[in-house]
Structure 1
Amino acid sequence: MNKGRLEAFSDGVLAIIITIMVLELRAPHGNQLADLQPLLPVFVSYVLSFIYVGIYWNNHHHFLHAATRVDGRVLWANLHLLFWLSMFPFATAWMGEHHDAATPVAVYGVMLMMAAIAWLPFQSSLMRASGRDSTLSRAVDPWGWKSVLPVALYMTGIALAFVNTWAAQALYALVAAMWIVPDRRIEHRLQDTVHHEQA
């Protein structure tokens, strides 16, 4: 099965997600800088979600680049991941409009958590399809701290939303900062493979 088609479809979905999110940034009715102030929480929510979509796009690209093949399990796991990512515009808009309310901030955290959970079967199915001796399987620990810790932090943020919404949003931003650099293990393994083949 051609992994290029899977990557092209996923890229298209992610591009649509970003487009829908940016459409929520509506121009103010006034014409003064002060009129932009009420839109600041909406803009901050958009920036955070844009970063998250960018993180998933980057890592999705790196994993598919390292993979040797895809199968039916990968396709369904990818659709599962895209489903939760497609909920980002809704959660982003709701939290942006009600950034100081517990439920929208908690729901945003749930969407982030479900996308992180959905990443795990996508990752494992891609590794299984590529084989135990593949570059991808050798480079990635599917249950490493960088895969598991974000889920625990999202759960903490969801609970924290009912105590302090700003602290919860700061925790969501912290997780994004953890993942903002693509997985270096894959890059290093790919470089080692290229050097070995050239030797």
Structure 2
Amino acid sequence: MIDDDPRTALMRAAASAGLSLSTLSGAIRRNAAYLQQYVTRGSPRVLAEADRRTLAAMLGVSEAALGGPAKTDAPFALPRLDVQASAGPGAYADGELVLGIDGVDARLARALRLRPGMAGLITARGDSMEPGLYDGDQLIVDTADRTPIASARVYVIRVDGAVMVKRVAAGRKKLVATSDNPAAAPVPAGEIEVVGRVVWRMGAPR
């Protein structure tokens, strides 16, 4: 737990370590009264970064406890794939080439249960999945989830080499893919290869 007041946290940590504020002041190459003034008078207002780092290491506490920035998780890496999941007739791609690496908040990745190396980011094209998905939406795809269930969910699929995003359900004998937009053309016939499940949409407000 991080104390709300870094001065109180410093005093408690020093007492726990059996070190005086004057001793700690010397450790950071300040005059003996430096930290006493920091604690009682608020001067300086905040500890210098180098001083804070040294004190945190000596006292076994986080820099955040002594007034430093809270530690945040590194972004979850998502490869951006050079394919467009068509929400229309289908975009053809011989393979998936990585255009670059994007990142999403690590907390979101945990909430979505994404696994490193088993997720990607692609762009939706077309209108066949409106109003749920729109042309240009960025889609996070969980490539670890390739097994549709009886209750239809949104997946990126390939049909005869065409990459598309459709609602897919497990039928009695085969997978069944449909569009959300009733005006859309029928999904092309052919064997359905599941690329992964769409677990997050990023797009402009509508």
TM range (shorter): under 0.3
Considering fraction of residues, name the structure with more strand. Answer: 2
Structure having greater relative contact order (Cα 8 Å, sep ≥ 6): 1
TM-score by length of 1: 0.21
TM-score by length of 2: 0.21
